Each structure stands twice: as structure tokens, then as C-alpha cells.
Amino acid sequence: MPASLIARNRIQKLFLKEENTLRLNAHVAPLRSHEHQDGCRAVFEEGDWDIFTVANRNKCECDWSAKPDGSSCDCRYAKEEETWTRMYCSIQATIGDDYPTILRKMSKRVEKRDKQGVKERVEEINEAKRLGVPWPPTPTHYVLLVGELTTGEITREELSQLFAQKYIKVAFLDNLGLAPQ
């Protein structure tokens, strides 16, 4: 088995632990005030994607004015406002000078997923209308998980900016406090 595949599998395995999936979700889609992330699950090898995550978020009813330091509350009381965040992730154990090729491939995957997503959203909206319930939009994020950047031709920040032009967020494992075992 090629070393690159072994390294990719080690990264993917990190997200068997819910705490790591929660950490990734909070990094890519930071929580807003009065928002708690109550659960998250990862599905592996979902279509063209290495990892697909779904995170459940709820709004709290705390009086945040009593917290002048801006810290988040520690309550578990939620309003009836529940939202979900979806994340489609591609894993690259190392990225070198091949980053333009990776960007092109991921852009095609995003485009394909967005076309599928439109059809699914129309079906969800129609079902919500039929049932007479509100249909909240579900934020979707596309993420490139990177173990290590091995080129001197581009910095991490530049790589992130380049991928952001195609609506893809870049997350480096060490920024998440993770390392493959």
C-alpha cells in the first residue's frame, strides 16, 4: 500500500472520535454568540468525499450581558431554533507543488456536489411546505484537510486564499491540535 494512502487513512481515522469532528466543525464554522454545538457525526467515503460531517447547533437563552468578558455560556438550555451544518472534506496528507491540480479536482467535486444539493434542497423545501413547517437553510462547507505543506512556493495563508476563491476552506491538522497516529 502506498505511503500516501496510509497517511491519508491515518488522518481519516482521527475523525472516528466525535471530539475531533467537533473541533474541525468549530474551526471551519465558528460558533456564533448564543450558539452551542450539541452533536456531530462523521460519515466516511461519502460519494467523492473522504469525510462528510453533520453538526447540530442550538441557540441558548442565557443573559450574555452578565458576562462582560464575552465568554461563552455553559448552559444546555436551548430555544426551539436548531440548525445543522454540513461539511464535505477531502484529505491530503501532504501538499507540495501539486496544489493547483488538487484545487482543480476539488473545484469539480464542489460543482458536482452543489448541483446535487440544489435538487435535494428543492425536495426538502417542497416537503416542508407540504407539512407546513419552516425550512431552515443548512450551511454547507467544503474543506481541504491538510497534514503537511511541503512546498516552499506557497505559504499556508496563500494556499488558504487560493482555495477560498473556490469556496473551499483549508484546515491544517496542527491548527486543530491533531496529529495522525
- 79 pLDDT above the threshold of 60: no
Q: How many angstroms separate the CA atoms of 51 and 43, rounded? A: 6
Give the C-alpha separation, 68 to 58, whole Å. 22
Q: pLDDT tens digits for 34-45? A: 666 777 889 899
Q: Of 46-60, 62-76, 89-103, 120-134, give the lowest mean pLDDT range.
A: 62-76
**Amino acid 128: pLDDT:** 66
Return the pLDDT at 140.
85
| Average pLDDT, rounded, for the chain | 82
Q: Look at residue 134 in the predicted model and tell me its pLDDT.
A: 57
Alpha carbon 55 to its chain centroid, in Å, reads 9
Instruction: Judge whether residue 125 has pLDDT over 60.
Output: yes
**CA 164 to CA 149: how far, in whole Å?**
17
The pLDDT assigned to 98 comes to: 95
Burial class (CB in 10 A: 0-12, 13-18, 19+), 106: buried
Looking at residue 178, its pLDDT comes to 92
Query: Do 143 and 171 meet the contact criterion of CB atoms below 8 Å apart?
Result: yes
The secondary element (H helix, E strand) that includes residue 118 is: helix 99-131
**Interval 2-15: pLDDT, tens:** 888 899 999 999 99
Q: Tell me the mean pLDDT in the region 131-150.
A: 80
Look at residues 36, 125, 145 and name the one whose alpha carbon lies nearest to residue 85: 36
